Amino acid sequence: MIRANDPALHSWIEIAADSEFPIQNLPFGIFSTPERDPRVGVAIGEYILDLCVLGRRDFFVLTDLDPTVFHRPSLNDFIALGKPIWRAVRNRVSELLRNDNDEISGNSDLIRDCLVKQSDAELLMPVHVPNYTDFYSSLQHATNVGSMFRGPENALLPNWRHLPVGYHGRASSIVVSGTAIHRPKGQTRAPDAAAPTFGPTRQLDFELEVAFIAGRETALGQSITPYEAEDYIFGLVLFNDWSARDMQAWEYQPLGPFLAKSFASSTSPWVVTLDALEPFRVKGPEQDPRPLPYLEFLGSRHYDINLEVLLQPQGSGPVSISRTNTKHLYWSMGQQLAHQSSNGCNLQVGDLYASGTISGPGNGSYGSMLELTWQGTQPLQLPDGSERRFLEDYDTVIMRGFGERNGIRIGFGELKTQVLPAI
């Protein structure tokens, strides 16, 4: 077992029993306050541990670690140091926060210097994302969408069970939780119309996804296996791949998603390491037919992470509209990364690879409005008396995710975004 994951560990910081940031989690992020410029922090309970302050005071005397790596506006330089360093730093942070360690807890000036309340901080984009790929790895989602657009008999295209289908998305418009997005404008054509028109989308949607951050580069021409992939994955975030369905339906053939997706995508601010998620490994669904050798793997390479979407209309409280789990994904992250690199395309540190919309079996576990309302034909009834086919201006979409074992919850925090009118 990874030392920092021991369920018996307790911190000298008081942490609520249902906190998503117990001492066994320790996700990394970037934060600032009016007094502190952007820097690396670790979430612990309601606080952030300022690694920049601790680095300057030589709390991380590790091989090859330049402590100024924590004084950066993104995690990329830290991530680029490699898995042995991520693991060593997380283990060291765990040690410093344990109730039997007084290196920080015995020094009240230092506590004031290195602990910041999350509510007093601004959480920033955790990584600079050089490249963003979006996969399409949920069998239920692909089946639902395929049924709507092509009919149930052609729901899954012939390639789907042979390779993790994906496309290259837009990295420049990825924003962190709390950043409002504007309703996009684009070209659409109503089914009965002779010509397309241009204007704000009428079918704005969210997509519930998780994404992993690449932590190691490959050379052009190099490929990696699903087994090696784990050394190339730093951690996971919650991800909302916003979509404009009417624009998507009109533009997507024959080259796939474009402006219906590229206007914005939202990420949660904390990157939960693959190490912290180790207790939540599960076997994925059986893959039939057997994947080609370059995609083959044995063992438990999926994760049991509960996901939830809440919709908050302006002026009322959030309503849960979907619950699902990452274990429903067909293709694993390792297979996705192996496939991405299989043609020799080079990976870069900070690359973001999203799962694709995660839908579970049955309505109520679908990861988009498109599926929850079945293309708008079965609107959601909200407690405030309104209904939704797709998202309206000033709606807020909230995504949550956590794994739970032995009474310990390892979570991602909230991914929360408000939709503003088109500019």
**Minimum distance, C-beta of residue 398 to Ca ion, in the bound complex (Å):** 18
CA distance 378 to 369: 10
**Minimum distance, C-beta of residue 203 to Ca ion, in the bound complex (Å):** 15
**Minimum distance, C-beta of residue 412 to Ca ion, in the bound complex (Å):** 18
Q: Is position 371 an interface residue for Ca ion (rule: CB under 5 A)?
A: no
**Minimum distance, C-beta of residue 328 to Ca ion, in the bound complex (Å):** 15
Site for Ca ion in 225-264 (CB under 5 A): 241
Q: Which is nearer to Ca ion, 142 or 410 (CB)?
A: 142
Q: Which is nearer to Ca ion, 121 or 358 (CB)?
A: 358
**Minimum distance, C-beta of residue 356 to Ca ion, in the bound complex (Å):** 5
**Minimum distance, C-beta of residue 135 to Ca ion, in the bound complex (Å):** 8
Q: Which is nearer to Ca ion, 20 or 241 (CB)?
A: 241
Catalytic option among 10, 71, 128, 141: 141
Q: Which is nearer to Ca ion, 241 or 351 (CB)?
A: 241
Q: Which is nearer to Ca ion, 170 or 182 (CB)?
A: 170
SS3 for 62-126, per residue?
A: CCCCCHHHHCCCCCHHHHCCCHHHHHHHHHHHHHHHECCCCCCCCCHHHHHHHEEEHHHCEEECC
Site for Ca ion in 121-150 (CB under 5 A): 134
Q: Which is nearer to Ca ion, 167 or 394 (CB)?
A: 167
Site for Ca ion in 72-101 (CB under 5 A): none
Q: Name the closest residue to Ca ion (Cβ).
A: 241
Active site residue 162: no
220, 234, 180, 222: which is closest to 204 by C-alpha? 180
Per-position x/- string for 299-338, each x denoting binding to Ca ion as judged by CB under 5 A, each - no binding: ----------------------------------------
**Minimum distance, C-beta of residue 196 to Ca ion, in the bound complex (Å):** 23
Q: Which is nearer to Ca ion, 77 or 207 (CB)?
A: 207
Total binding residues toward Ca ion, as defined by CB under 5 A: 3
Site for Ca ion in 177-216 (CB under 5 A): 207
Give me the active site residues, please: 141
Interface positions with Ca ion (CB under 5 A): 134, 207, 241
